[in-house]
Structure 1
Amino acid sequence: MVRFKRMRFIKIFALLLGLLVWASSTAWAQGVTLIRDAEIEHSVRTFATPLFQAAGLNPNNLEIFLIEDDSLNAFVIPGGKMFLNTGLMLSTEDPTQLMGVIAHETGHIAAGHTFSRGDQMENAMLKAIAGALLGLGAGLATGDSDAVAAGTIIGQDMALRGLLSYTRGQENSADQSAIRYMRSAGYSPQGLLDFMRIMEDQEALLSSSQEPYMRTHPLTRDRVRALEQAAREHPPEANEIESELARMHARMRAKLSGFLESEQRVQRRYPEEDTSLAARYARAISDYRNGRLESALTGMGELIDSHPDDAFFHEMRGQMLMENGRLQEALTDYQTATELQPEEPLIRLNLAQVQIQLDRRELDEAALSNLAKVRTQEGDNPTAWRLTAIAHGRLGDKGRAALALAEMNYARGSWNEAVGQAERAKKLLDNNTPAWLRANDLSEAAAREADRQN
C-alpha cells in the first residue's frame, strides 16, 4: 500500500476463486485480510520478476497478493494469481529462500496445475458458491459491503482438502521448473532446498497441526534428494545474494515484524544493541504501532537523515503523520516519496488522500491528476475511485462524481449500487460523451452481474 493497510476481497469472483484454496482456521473463516504495502510489494516483485521471465511468463499478467497470516503458506489459483502468507515471508532467512518458493509456485502456474482439477474443481466451486451466497445475504442485510466480503470467506477447508494437494508428479515437476528458473536468473536452487529443510520438521506432525504449505505441497525424501543434487551441481557463489536483494529482504522482514508481531517479539528479533538499518526500521514501526508516535518519528527522522533519497522511508513517516492528523507535514513527505518513486501507485494514492483531506481547491485538482495516474495502473482500485468522487463533487462536477461512485461500486462487486450511480451519472452528463457512454456501459455490465446473482 502506500500505507500499510488491510484490504478485504470485495469482488465476488475473486472470493469464489479464493475459497477454493485457502487453508482452514478460525481466522480464515472470519475473513481473509490482504496487505497492500508499496515497499513490500516492490521487493516481492523484484524477487519474482526474473523468475517469471525465466518461465516464459509475462510479469505484467501475473498478480501477487500478500495475506496477513502467521502460518507458512503460499499457493496459486487460476488466472496467474499467487498468494504469499506473511508468516512464510517472515520465516525466510534470505531472499533466495523466498525466491525458491516463488519459483516453485511459478512452476505450478507454468505447468497449468491450477487448471487440471476437473470434477474436483467443479465440486469445490459449487461449495464455494453456496458459502458465498450465504455471506452475501448477511452482508446485504447489514448494508456493509466489507461485511459482504468478510462473510463469504467460509467453507474453505472442504474446498481445500484434495483440491490443491498436489500429486508427487506435480510437485517434482514444479521443483524441476524452480531449479531451472533459479539457475536462469543466476541463483542456486539452494534457497529452495533450505526452505524445504525448514519444512521437513513438519512431516512428523499430524495433518491438523502441520503448516498449510505442508498439507498442500507434500514433501518427500525424493524431492529433497533432487534439490540436494541440484544444489551440488549449482552451488551458491559467495556474492550470489546481491547486497541490494539482501537489503530489500531484511527491510521487508523488519517492516512485517514491526507491524504484525508483538512488541516483545520485535524486541527479541531486533534488540536495542542491534543498530542495523533493518533493526532501527522495525523498532520505529513497532513504536508507532504501540502508541509512541514521537519516538517513532524520531526513529524515522534518523533513517531519513542518513538516507534522504529513500522514498519508502518518507512514505512511512508520511503515514505516521497522516494518521495522526498532521496533514501538512505528511503532504511534504508524500510529495517527496512520489517524486522519488513516481511509478508506485500506492504512494501516489496516499498523496492524493492527504491532498483531499486538506480540503483546498488547488489540492483537490492536484489529487485528481494523481488519481488518474493511479488508475492507469490499478483501474479497479475502489479507494482511488472513492477519492475521485470526492474531488469531483467538491469541484462541482456531479456527473463525474456519480460516475466515479459507479466505478467504485463496480470494483467492489456492489452491482445494484453501481447501476444506481451509473444511471444517476447518465442523467447528469451530456448524452453520448465518453463519460456518458462509460456510465451506460457500467450500468449494463453491473446489471448483468446482478442478474447472475439472482
Structure 2
Amino acid sequence: MKCKARVGKHLIALVTALVFLAGASRTADARSYVTDTEIEFYIRELATPVFQTAGLSPSAIDIYFINDDTLNAFVAGGQNIFFHTGLLMATETPEQLLGVIAHETGHIAGGHLARTGEALRNASQNALLGIILGAGAALATGRGDAAGAIFQGTQAAVQDSLLSYSRTQESAADQAAVRYLDANRESSKGMLEFLSTLSGQELLSGRSRSPYASTHPLTQDRISFVEAHVANSRFSDAKLSDDLQIKHRRMVAKLKGFIRSPARTFRDYEESDSSLEARYARAIATYRLPDMNKAVTMVDGLLEEYPKDPYFHELKGQILFEAGKPAEAEGSYRTAHELLPDAPRIQLELARVLLAREGPEASAEAQTHLERVVQEMPSSTFAWRQLAIAYGRNGDHGMSALALAEEAYRSGRERDAALQANRAKQKLQPNTEPWLRATDIEQLSTPRDRERKTR
C-alpha cells in the first residue's frame, strides 16, 4: 500500500469521494477503499461456510474494505458487506470476526435492507447504488486517479437512518447468526466478545461513539440472548483451525503495517517479538519509512523460512518495483503468480511490471496476462488501460481502441467511450465479436440511447 492516493500492491488505497454510508455523519465524507489479495482470500475462507449455510451464493456477495479507524461493518445495496479497517484490526481472534460476518449475513438473508422504507427505493437508492457500483469498479482499478472518475456526480449524502436497523431486525440477525454458527459446529463466543466490546458504546455520543453502535442498536436483551446461547450450545468451546488463527494475526499485522504510522507499528510489534506476524508488520513499516534495502532484507528473511508464501514474494515485488527495479520485481511477481495463479490482482501487477520493462516479448506476455485479468475483473479500469497499452505496443490498434472504450465506459466517461468505440470499429473486422462489442459500447454511450434507457 502507498499512503493516501499512492498505489501499492499489497494494500491499495483509492482516495475517492464516498458518501459516509453508516456513521453518524449526514454529509459526504472522503474515505478510501483498500484491497488486498491475502486479506480478501482469508475473509472469503472464513465467511464462505456461513454464506452457504444461510442459503446464499458466496460468489454473489461482494466484500469491501474501507480505510477508517472506527469499529463498523454494514450491509448496503443488496449483497454487499463493508468492513472498516478499524473493526478488522480491533478483532483479536477469527472467532470474533466470524461473529460479525454471521450477524451481517443474517441481515442479508433476512432481507432487512429491503424493509428500510420507501425513501431508500427512491432518490437515496439511486445515490446508494451509484456508490456501490462505483466502489466495485474503484476496488478493481488499482489507481486513485482512475477510481476518482467513478464517483463524479455521486455527491448526495445518504442519511444514516436508512442504513440503521431496528431492534427487531438486530435480534433476528443475532438469532440467525448463532444458528449459522451452530450449523457449522462453530462457537458463538467470538460474537459475544464483540458485543461486549461494543456494550460501552451505547453510553457514548457524537464522534466518540462507534458507528456500529449507531446503526446496530445494542440492548441488554441482545447480549443476554447470546450469553444464554453460549451457555447452552455444545459448540461453545470449539476453536477455529490454527491456520485461520495465523491468517487472522497476519491480517491485523498487515493492516497495521500499511495503515498505521511506522513508529506506531514498531511500538506495537517490538524488535524482541520474533513471531511471523511481528516480522511481517515490521518489514512493511520499514518499507514505508522508506528504507527499501532494509525492507527487502527483512522480507528475504521471511522467505528463507517460507519460500512458498506468495504474499511475501508479492510484497518483495512491490518494494523492488517502487524502488525502480522492474527486472528484479518481475521475478518476485512471477513467483507469486505461479504460487497463486487464481489471484488476478497479482497477475495484473506482473503484467504492469512487464510493460515497464518494455520489449516485444514482455509486451506479448503482458497482453496474455491482462486478457485474463479483465475476464476476472471486468470492472478494473486500470487493467483495461494497461491492456490498451499492451495491444498498442503489439501493433493491434483496433483492440487497443476497444480496450480504451471499455476503460472509458466503465469509468462513466461515455463521450470518450463512444469516441474510442467508433475508432475501434474503423480498425476491426466487421461483424466479429470485438467489432460487435465496440458497436454495443458506442450505442450504450450515445445520448439517444441513454434517453431511451430512462423512459
Please give the TM-score of this superposition, normalised by the length of structure 2: 0.89
Q: Distance in 2 between matches of 1:268 and 1:274?
A: 11
Aligned to 1:199: 198
Please state if 1:429 is matched with 2:436.
no
Paired residue type of 1:58:
S
Paired residue type of 2:66:
I
Aligned to 1:3: 10
Counterparts of residues 119-134 of structure 1 (less than 5 Å): 119-122=118-121, 125=124, 128=127
Asked if the contact 1:31/1:150 (under 8 Å) is kept, the reply is no
Q: Distance in 2 between matches of 1:227 and 1:176?
A: 8
Report deviation, 1:123: 5.2
Report deviation, 1:453: 9.1
Structure 1 unaligned blocks of 5 or more: 10-14, 133-143
Paired residue type of 2:272:
E
Aligned to 1:219: 218
Q: Distance in 1 between matches of 2:366 and 2:385?
A: 12
CA-atom RMSD in angstroms? 2.4
Residues 208, 4 of structure 1: alpha-carbon distance in 2 compared, 3 angstrom cutoff? closer
Aligned to 1:135: none
Report deviation, 1:441: 0.8
Percent of aligned positions with the same letter in both sequences? 41
Report deviation, 1:234: 2.4
Q: Deviations over 1:173-196 (max 9, x none)?
A: 111111111122221111111111
Counterparts of residues 188-267 of structure 1 (less than 5 Å): 188-234=187-233, 240-267=239-266
Please state if 1:184 is matched with 2:183.
yes
Q: Distance in 1 between matches of 2:260 and 2:345?
A: 23
Aligned to 1:41: 40
Aligned to 1:136: none
Aligned to 2:442: 443
Aligned to 2:21: 21
Return 228-237 or 385-394, whichever deviates more.
228-237
Counterparts of residues 52-451 of structure 1 (less than 5 Å): 52-122=51-121, 125=124, 128=127, 146-149=147-150, 152=153, 154-156=155-157, 159-234=158-233, 240-447=239-446, 451=451
Paired residue type of 1:233:
N
Structure 2 unaligned blocks of 5 or more: 1-7, 132-144
Q: Deviations over 1:63-115 (max 9, x none)?
A: 10111111111111123111111000000000011111111111111111121
Q: Distance in 1 between matches of 2:174 and 2:30?
A: 31
Q: Distance in 1 between matches of 2:146 and 2:292?
A: 32
Report deviation, 1:154: 4.2
Residues 77, 398 of structure 1: alpha-carbon distance in 2 compared, 3 angstrom cutoff? same
Paired residue type of 2:64:
F
Paired residue type of 1:34:
Y
Return 385-394 or 437-446, whichever deviates more.
437-446
Q: Deviations over 1:105-154 (max 9, x none)?
A: 1111111112112323145517948x99xxxxxxxxxxx76554456564
- Give the SS at the match of 1:75: strand
- Give the SS at the match of 2:272: coil
Paired residue type of 2:23:
A
Asked if the contact 2:417/2:442 (under 8 Å) is kept, the reply is yes
